Structures are given as structure tokens and as C-alpha cells.
């Protein structure tokens, strides 16, 4: 791929990932958290599910395979996005984005514990540096607020989903997997919204603009661009650019929400970005026992 095009697509994907935090926080003024993300992913997943059916892509042919898609959606969409949007009720969107994109560090730890993956020395250095960054981000203390616990929860759920996709993903068409995990995860979020929270929906142009931005740009365009990049380049090296997403999260929080981030959050974020970079830059060399 042309290098300039690659850079442009990386910037597009990671800026959409990061800006979705600030745009989502704007939406929380009009829509309750779980209802907002439920609507977002039912809309995005429904559009993509219709598209893959029109393209006659191969769908799962057994209940077991559909169950796998449901479990991936429960982790990747329901748990991750539920934790993110609940977290942003109490902590800045930039801080939530930093904590959420710790997920590659948890992938290393969980991969060793549960999937017998092996990693090189520099990747373990990345894990240590990344977790040190979390300690700094939280203000050099371990007293976690509800918002930070939920932010870390989103990273853990994302890591679990990543390992599930690594284990099962080859058995599915990539676009079918993306579409139905979003649709199933969104339906679960709507179920949680109507049973676990006091739903609130104020329909105005701002709220509708937020929902459309999150569904069309922050979900469909973002996923399509990112999967295209992963398919065209080395996945490990491409994933190293995920460290740009929290940068855009903090930047958009400042631009859109005028959020003030404490200096130690920036320092901790730099440690986390460095840790993620070290983990991902050599991840293509990891192997099973």
C-alpha cells in the first residue's frame, strides 16, 4: 500500500476511535449511557448485517457458531462499550480513553495465562511500563474510583474479546463477524438499558447527530478502515498505531468538552503508549508452545 495512503487511513481510524469518547460524552447529556450505546450498535450492526446479506457472504451454519458470535459481542460491544460510557459519567473522556486502550497489555497477560502464548523480552518490558503508566495516571495511588474501575474493566473486556477472536475468528467471514458481534452486543445493551438503568432520551438535533456520528463514522467507517489496514499490512506492526487513539481521545476531550486533564495523566498516558508500542511492535513474533 502507498505509504501516504496508509498514514491517512491510520489517522482516520484512530481519530474516529479517539473522538468517539468526547462525542459520546456529549450524547450523555441527552441519552442515558446504556441506551445510547445500545442504539449506536444496533443501528451500526443492523446496517452491516443487511450489507453482508446483500453481498451473500457466508453466514454461520450452526447454533454453536452463532453462540460464539453472541459471546464475542457480549465482550467486545456490550461489556467494553457499557463500561466506557458508564465510566465517562464520573471521569473525563480523555482519561477513559487512556485506560481503555490498555487492552493490548492485558492481551499479553491473559494470553500467557489462558492460551499458552509466549512473548519476547521487549513485550514484557512493555507490559511493566504500561501498568506503571496506569499507576501514574491514577495520581500515584491505588485508590480507584468507580470511573477508573469501569475504564479498566473496558480494557479487560476488550482483551478477552481479542483472544476470543484470535481463537475463533478464522472460522468466520471477517465482515460477518464484525456486523453480528455489534448487532448482538447492541441488543444486549438495549436489554440492560431497559432493565438496569433509568432510561432517558431527549430527541433533538444534537442527540441525533451524536447517534449518527457514533453509528456511521465511529463504528462502521472506523471498523471498515481498521480491518482494511489489518488485512493490507502486518497485524502486529499495524496494531502498534493504536497508541494514537488515546491521544486523539485526550485531544478531542479538550477541543469539544474543554476538559482539564491533570499533568500526571499525560505522563501516565505516555508510559501507557510506550508500553502498548513495545507490546505490539514485536507481537508478530509471539508463538504458542
With respect to residue 252, please indicate whether it lies within any of the assigned structural domains.
yes
With respect to residue 86, please indicate whether it lies within any of the assigned structural domains.
yes
With respect to residue 123, please indicate whether it lies within any of the assigned structural domains.
yes
With respect to residue 57, please indicate whether it lies within any of the assigned structural domains.
yes
| Averaged pLDDT, 16-44 | 93
- pLDDT band for 165, please (50, 70, 90 cuts): confident
pLDDT, position 286: 46
Residues 6+ apart with CB under 8 A from 97: 18, 21, 245, 246, 248, 249, 250, 253
Q: For residue range 115-126, list pLDDT tens digits in order.
A: 777 777 877 887
With respect to residue 46, please indicate whether it lies within any of the assigned structural domains.
yes
- Provide the β-strand partners of residue 118: 287
- pLDDT band for 288, please (50, 70, 90 cuts): very low
Residues 6+ apart with CB under 8 A from 71: 164
With respect to residue 159, please indicate whether it lies within any of the assigned structural domains.
yes
Whether 285 has a pLDDT exceeding 50, the answer reads no
Q: Is 32 helix (H, G, I), strand (E, B) or coil?
A: coil
pLDDT, position 283: 46
With respect to residue 8, please indicate whether it lies within any of the assigned structural domains.
no
pLDDT averaged over every residue in the chain: 84
- SS3 per residue for 79-147: HHHHHHHHHCCCCCHHHHHHHHCCHHHHHHHHHHHHHCEECCHHHHHHHHHHHHHHHHHCCCCCCCCHH
pLDDT, position 260: 75
pLDDT, position 170: 82
Whether 265 has a pLDDT exceeding 90, the answer reads no
Q: Is 288 helix (H, G, I), strand (E, B) or coil?
A: strand
* Residue 287: its H or E element: strand 287-288
List the grid coordinates of 70.
453472541
With respect to residue 5, please indicate whether it lies within any of the assigned structural domains.
no
Q: For residue range 82-139, list pLDDT tens digits in order.
A: 999 999 988 888 778 878 888 877 888 888 888 777 777 877 887 788 778 767 766 6
Question: What total number of domains does the chain contain?
Answer: 1
pLDDT, position 90: 85
Whether 30 has a pLDDT exceeding 70, the answer reads yes
Q: By residue range, what is the domain housing residue 210?
A: 13-288
Give the CA dihedral 251, 253, 259, 263, nearest 10 degrees: -40
pLDDT, position 68: 94
Whether 39 has a pLDDT exceeding 60, the answer reads yes
**Alpha-carbon torsion 77, 80, 83, 89, what sign?**
negative
Amino acid at each position: 500500500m502507498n505509504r501516504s495512503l496508509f498514514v491517512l487511513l491510520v489517522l482516520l481510524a484512530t481519530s474516529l476511535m479517539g473522538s468517539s469518547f468526547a462525542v459520546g460524552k456529549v450524547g450523555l447529556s441527552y441519552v442515558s449511557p446504556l441506551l445510547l450505546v445500545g442504539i449506536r450498535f444496533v443501528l451500526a450492526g443492523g446496517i452491516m448485517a443487511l450489507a453482508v446479506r446483500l453481498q451473500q457472504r457466508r453466514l454461520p451454519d450452526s447454533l454453536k457458531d452463532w453462540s460464539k458470535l453472541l459471546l464475542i459481542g457480549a465482550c467486545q460491544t456490550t461489556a467494553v462499550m457499557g463500561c466506557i460510557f458508564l465510566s465517562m459519567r464520573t471521569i473525563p473522556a480523555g482519561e477513559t480513553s487512556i485506560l481503555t486502550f490498555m487492552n493490548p497489555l492485558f492481551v499479553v497477560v491473559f494470553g500467557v495465562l489462558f492460551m499458552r502464548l509466549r512473548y519476547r523480552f521487549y513485550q514484557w518490558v512493555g507490559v511493566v511500563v504500561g501498568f506503571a503508566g496506569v499507576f501514574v495516571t491514577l495520581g500515584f495511588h491505588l485508590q480507584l474510583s468507580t470511573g477508573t474501575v469501569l475504564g479498566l474493566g473496558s480494557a479487560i473486556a476488550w482483551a478477552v474479546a481479542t483472544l476470543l477472536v484470535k481463537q475463533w475468528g478464522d472460522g468466520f467471514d471477517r465482515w460477518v463477524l464484525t456486523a453480528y458481534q455489534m448487532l448482538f452486543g447492541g441488543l444486549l445493551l438495549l436489554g440492560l438499558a431497559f432493565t438496569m438503568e433509568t432510561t432517558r432520551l431527549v430527541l433533538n438535533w444534537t442527540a441525533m447527530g451524536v447517534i449518527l456520528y457514533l453509528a456511521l463514522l465511529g463504528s462502521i467507517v472506523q471498523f471498515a478502515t481498521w480491518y482494511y489496514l489489518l488485512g493490507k499490512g502486518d497485524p502486529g506492526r499495524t496494531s502498534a498505531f493504536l497508541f494514537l487513539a488515546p491521544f486523539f481521545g485526550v485531544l478531542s476531550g479538550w477541543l469539544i468538552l474543554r476538559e482539564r486533564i491533570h499533568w500526571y495523566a499525560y505522563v501516565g498516558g505516555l508510559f501507557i503508549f510506550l508500553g502498548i508500542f513495545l507490546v505490539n511492535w514485536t507481537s508478530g513474533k509471539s508463538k504458542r508452545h
